[in-house]
Structure 1
């Protein structure tokens, strides 16, 4: 009797173990399928973004007006950010993709720096056109390589998790996805040196300065980053948020977030620092419908956004309108002095008043609560006498700006008009030298 009971119990145990093992295998298989599908999506997204980069760079070579160039260059910056994010989601961590990551970052940085300046007053130089031409040729080369890799992926049952194992255990085979990515990175290494406008060291310093500014601040978790992102964007608790580590090309640790917008089909993309939990930039790429609010109302929306994010003491210093988007620059003000390096750029959609783009690098790098500001050695009248006599002064401020070699300079800022143009003229408050002259942007007409 006891023997029969024991046999029955063992049989039940064996069956139970088999069922448990089967369930475990099913769960493991499902996780692998999910992971492979995620990697497939990221890979095809990366290929699509590389296509877009090549297309936008090609279009800029045929453009000749700020109205066309500025948004096109901004698109290059936007799409390279998305490409970096897609690359970071792929299981190629065991490969050295640093050159590809840095190359994408530099394209985006060049496009961003160029897009935010007044191209009517400072048009693209011959060197910058040469740079765009080189970037276009190189992007075409990367696109061709990505297309070959995509064809390889689509030809057979190539599993991304198997590629990850291959990276760890062996040299990637030439026919594998890992092998294709290794060749891609080597081809980027072989590109001729590009004249970026800013030197390589200047680009690295931008990263390094941000790393230094954030160092020592309290680190936040991914869950905390998700919550902060939702708070910034005023989105509800149930909003879908995907989060990953940013590419290694960044010197500072950051999270990349993809945030659903329940009111629109497009998502928000955001980079948030691990140290300090600060949004470095975010954007939403969507169709902007006919304007329903004014530029002044957009300014109020942006100011409310800054106050909600704890960015106090920021003052509007420039505003313009492109199509149905308000483009706004805010600078920190200390004791009545505008600190231009300590700035943020905000774009507001004029169809619904949403903030659709934010860049806070300047504020994060340059913000100081107790910046030492000297007393001016010239009076306002003495400084104004240095301005061209044909310019009629309308407004003046004290300010701190950066000169051409990125040194901070204490200046008088004069807004003046001549004929139908408005200028911003900076006179050194200590020496009386004319530091910089800018022609202010006009809002673009709607057609």
Structure 2
């Protein structure tokens, strides 16, 4: 009798363990599938938008009236901005792609300047029409190259997760995607050089010169830094590779995996700054609050050497808290110098961090004397009167042209929604309005 009871109990336990293991496996696969779907969506959106960009430019070339030209150029600016965002979502951190991004930025800046220009008084010159013709041919080549990569991806069933691994480990294999993007990047370099002759684009002079402070670190020093600050065991094997020549931010790239964890990290070769960190693991029931997670994130940033960081947003996704911090100096919030960090709410562990925006913007900024010719009260009078303002502060942001400007940031309520409004502190121009997501925000303490 006892024997049968024991067998029954063991059977139930084994079945339970099997179900639990299957569920854990399913959850892990779900994370990987979600990441892969995000990469695929970004790539196919990018390909579609380059197609659309090429069509829009051809339409502009056939347009002859300012009333039609301005909205068409505004559309081109919007498309290039979205395409630029798509590129940023692809796993290409180890593959230099800055010339392609510069090419898109150049088109966006040029189209924006034309869109807001008084074309009745200042029509397009012949050299600008020539430049449009060049843009059409160049975008057509990019479209063709991306279509070729897309055909291979769809025809061969290639996965972007494999591309990420191939870049990180330099493993041999089918590198169709990598080769295709390198072709796009090589061609884009010539496009940027060709555009500069018209004096209409952001040339190499406008590229960010990132000057990290401190001494170079070795691969071993970077490895120990990762283990120490993210609590990785010495027994955990770290696979390491380096960014390719030409990268704007040279890094060591680490990847690791065991039975319960899988992750990646990027550390700059100069000074050893953490650029990004991702840890994929299963989450247990929530044990700490979103606010406690924010405190844990702030401690980690300080521990990593990121000083004077203030939280500006927080959101909770089930068992994870996601926070945005920006650098402050003399009571001014520098929005471009931002770091996003993700904290597991089961034990307060850091599961993701992205500091690239901070490093690229903070260490490439020259000393700037921002103009402040209007008062906060004068700026508030320029805000829509329907907005019930709750708080305000000075903030440096990037405007639509990518230039940094000093603004008054007002946060308020209207129509059951929360908005941020940015008023230029120099001339009172409304630089932007942002509707906040319906999530928990962090208010300044009084």
**What TM-score bracket applies, with the shorter chain setting the length?**
0.5 to 0.7
In the other structure, the counterpart of 1:328 is: 323
Contact 1:259 1:267 in 2 (8 A): yes
Aligned to 1:416: 412
Q: Is 2:424 the counterpart of 1:428?
A: yes
User: Counterparts of 1:28-427 in structure 2 under 5 Å?
Assistant: 53-54=39-40, 80=91, 101-102=95-96, 140-143=150-153, 181=175, 185=179, 189=183, 209=208, 212-214=210-212, 217-248=214-245, 250-259=247-256, 265-367=260-362, 372-374=368-370, 376-427=372-423
Distance 1:182 1:436, change over 3 A: closer
Query: Structure 1 residue 443: deviation in Å?
Result: 2.5
How far did 1:266 drift?
2.3
Shift of 1:56: 7.3
Q: Is the 8 Å Cα contact of residues 347 and 358 (structure 1) preserved in structure 2?
A: yes
Larger radius of gyration: 1
What does the per-residue CA deviation read over 1:363-387, in whole Å, with 9 as the maximum and x for residues that have no partner? 2123379955546322221111111
* Alignment partner, residue 134 of structure 2: none
Root mean square deviation, CA, Å: 4.8
Q: 1:331 touches 1:344 (CA, 8 Å); kept in 2?
A: yes
Distance 1:208 1:396, change over 3 A: same
Q: Identify if the C-alpha distance between structure 1 residues 420 and 353 changes in structure 2 by more than 3 Å, giving closer, same or farther.
A: same
Q: Distance between the aligned counterparts of 2:274 and 2:375, measured in 1?
A: 40
Q: CA deviation at 1:77?
A: 6.5
Q: Distance in 2 between matches of 1:359 and 1:203?
A: 26
Give the whole-Å Cα distance in 2 for the aligned partners of 1:443 and 1:407: 29
Residue 98 of structure 1 is matched in structure 2 by none
Alpha-carbon contact 1:142-1:184 (below 8 Å) kept = no
TM-score (structure 2 length as normaliser): 0.57
CA–CA distance in 2 between the matches of 1:217 and 1:289? 39
Residue 298 of structure 1: SS of its match in structure 2? Answer: helix
Q: CA deviation at 1:347?
A: 1.5
Partner Cα separation in structure 2 for residue 184 and residue 258 of structure 1: 19
Report the secondary structure of 1:312's partner residue: coil
Give the Cα separation in 1 of the matches to 2:249 and 2:435: 35
* Contact 2:42 2:90 (8 Å CA) reproduced: no
Partner of 1:443: helix, strand, or coil? coil
Unaligned runs of 5+ in 1: 1-48, 62-72, 86-100, 111-132, 149-163, 165-176, 195-199
Q: Distance in 1 between matches of 2:42 and 2:401?
A: 30
- Residue 296 of structure 1 and its aligned partner are, at CA, apart by 0.7
* Distance 1:186-1:333 versus aligned 2 partners, 3 A rule: closer
**Normalising to structure 1: TM-score of the pair?**
0.57
Structure 1 residues 203 and 138, CA, compared in 2 at 3 Å: closer, same or farther? farther
> 1:287 and 1:75 mapped to 2: Cα distance?
28
Number of residue pairs matched? 313
1:214-269 Cα shifts (integer Å, max 9, x gaps): 3x741111000001112221334444322111244624321101145x8x712220
Q: Does the CA contact (< 8 Å) of 2:392 and 2:409 recur in 1?
A: yes
For residues 46-96 of structure 1, the C-alpha deviation after alignment (integer angstroms, 9 at most, x for no partner) is xxx9898437767999xxxxxxxxxxx999977725xx76xxxxxxxxxxx
Distance 1:184 1:273, change over 3 A: closer
Match of 1:6 in 2: none
Q: Which runs of 5+ in 2 are unaligned?
A: 1-34, 48-83, 105-142, 159-170, 189-194, 441-446
